[in-house]
């Protein structure tokens, strides 16, 4: 794939692979990075000669001249064009080993050494939410899809092998709708989530335009034809709503606000909850006092509240989610609208608890980890989507007297560098 007519072609041997799935080689005594390559391969790469690209350590793959035995044929025809996946060229065995080794290295850099439990993986066609960008071309064409790797250019797609069939079926009609209601030259993105009773649809144009009948009428027709229960602009301005978007946590139905956080797959959500519940059953079976911090809509709060004689504190910064959880009226759940980054639970609050479950965003929970390290909480279950910040926070907890008893990787984002973790910490 040629990126510019002014390029230099170079033959290299790939020495190793990085945590972002790029092959690493040496050129002029410096490390360079080549996507979609594997250790031991001989490759022909191109380095654009512009000043900007000369300063970059990222080179572009032109040809694999000698293939690794760990290479496989990608299952998506858009792999290397679409930027969604970076590791489809790896065999399943190599892929699993690479991801676990990258995690172990990240942990080690923070002084966290622990055996890893078997990785829990989600299947293809399980992702229930999707974010796609669009561009209404000035010549009239319309593009809806994912960003090209290392680019802001959108790759037009018809289907994705990792999302649920129901979302794939919506791509073509969504493209048709947006082509109709947007003007040439306009851009934006859509977020669509498959929920229990249909779909939540969030349309976010980059330029704000009046929502009048020329938009409301086609959107209403689209929504009624395709089981869209709520459609908003940027998650705030309602365009269409026939009902709440409903999700199900352990048999309890919760109304999902537009743009609320939700685990990307039902299978991944169940895996994370089961790992947390299993840890409690093993290490604190008689616990009754719980906190679910960064609780969102209650992924962990609900199963905690269903335990015998339990009392649960659920805290999160996203007010709409807090309100929906409050609306369920659980007598044993105390819901707090709280910024845990600036106002973490302190030692007095924590020492009233038996178990704390944490599920922070990728930034981790540095301040809350420091408070926990000084507390007497017996069991902390830390669910993380950011291995580097997990390692940082784990080191804080371990310095405070916790032992990392168990660590389980959960691969909710197949064929990407992203990995979720469930860490079980015991206060000795």
Residue 382: which of 354, 403, 357 has the closest Cα?
Answer: 357
User: Of the residues 85, 160, 365, 385, which is catalytic?
Assistant: 385
Count the alpha carbons within 13 Å of 12 in the hemisphere toward its beta carbon: 29
> Contact 79/88 with Cβ under 8 angstroms?
yes
How far out from the chain centre does Cα 328 lie? 27
Helix/strand/coil for 233: strand
The answer to whether 410 and 386 have CB atoms below 8 angstroms apart is no
CB 326 within 8 A of CB 298: no
- The rounded Cα 95 to chain-centroid distance in angstroms is 18
CA distances for 159 relative to 70, 89, 103, 156, angstroms: 27, 19, 30, 9
Is 385 one of the catalytic residues? yes
Assign 3-class secondary structure to 347-406: HHHHCCCCEEEECCCCCCCHHHHHHHHCCCCCEEEEEECCHHHHHHHHHHHHHCCEEEEE
Cβ proximity of 356 and 377 under 8 Å: yes
Read out DSSP for 328-354? T--TTEEEEE--TTTS---HHHHTT-S
- Strands (E) across 67-183 are located at 120-121, 129-136, 142-147, 154-156
119-140 burial, b at 16+ Cβ within 10 Å, e below that, comes to ebbbeeebbbbbebbbbbeeee
The tokens of 8 are what? 């230099």
Burial grade of 115 (CB within 10 A; 0-12, 13-18, 19 or more)? exposed
Per the CB < 8 A criterion, the answer to whether 318 and 260 are in contact is: yes
DSSP assignment letter at 385: S
Backbone phi, psi, residue 174, to 5°: -65, -40
* Cβ atoms 74, 50 nearer than 8 A: no
Helix boundaries (H) for 15-91 = 51-54
- Which residues are the active-site residues? 385
């Amino acid at each position: 794939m040629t990126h510019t007519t002014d390029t230099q072609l170079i033959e290299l041997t790939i020495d190793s692979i990085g945590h972002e799935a790029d092959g690493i080689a040496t050129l002029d005594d410096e490390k360079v990075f080549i996507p979609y390559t594997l250790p031991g391969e001989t490759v022909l790469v191109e380095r654009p000669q512009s000043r900007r690209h000369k300063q970059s350590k990222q080179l572009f793959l032109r040809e694999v001249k000698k293939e690794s035995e760990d290479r496989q044929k990608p299952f998506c025809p858009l792999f290397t064009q679409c930027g969604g996946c970076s590791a489809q060229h790896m065999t399943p065995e190599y892929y699993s080993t690479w991801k676990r080794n990258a995690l172990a290295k990240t942990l080690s850099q923070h002084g966290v050494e622990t055996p890893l439990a078997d990785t829990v993986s989600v299947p293809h066609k399980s992702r229930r939410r999707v974010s796609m960008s669009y561009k209404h071309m000035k010549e009239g064409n319309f593009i809806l899809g994912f960003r090209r790797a290392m680019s802001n250019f959108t790759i037009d797609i018809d289907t994705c092998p990792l999302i649920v069939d129901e979302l794939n079926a919506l791509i073509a009609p969504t493209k048709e709708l947006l082509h109709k209601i947007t003007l040439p030259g306009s851009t934006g993105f859509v977020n669509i989530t498959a929920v229990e009773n249909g779909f939540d649809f969030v349309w976010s144009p980059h330029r704000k335009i009046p929502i009048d009948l020329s938009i409301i009428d086609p959107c209403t027709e689209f929504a009624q034809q395709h089981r869209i229960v709520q459609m908003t602009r940027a998650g705030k301005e309602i365009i269409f709503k026939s009902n709440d978007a409903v999700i199900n946590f352990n048999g309890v139905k919760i109304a999902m606000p537009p743009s609320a956080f939700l685990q990307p797959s039902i299978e991944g959500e169940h895996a994370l909850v089961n790992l947390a519940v299993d840890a409690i059953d093993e290490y604190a079976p008689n616990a009754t006092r719980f906190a679910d911090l960064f609780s969102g809509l209650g992924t962990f709060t609900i199963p905690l509240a269903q335990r015998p004689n339990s009392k649960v504190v659920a805290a999160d910064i996203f007010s709409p989610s807090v309100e929906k959880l409050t609306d369920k009226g659980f007598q044993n759940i105390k819901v707090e609208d709280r910024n845990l980054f600036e106002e973490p639970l302190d030692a007095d609050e924590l020492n009233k608890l038996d178990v704390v479950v944490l599920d922070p965003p990728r930034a981790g929970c540095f301040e809350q980890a420091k408070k926990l390290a000084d507390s007497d909480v017996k069991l902390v279950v830390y669910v993380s989507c950011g291995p580097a910040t997990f390692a940082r926070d784990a080191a804080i907890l371990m310095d405070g007297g916790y032992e990392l008893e168990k660590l389980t990787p959960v691969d909710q984002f197949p064929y990407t560098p992203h990995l979720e973790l469930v860490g079980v910490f015991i206060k000795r």
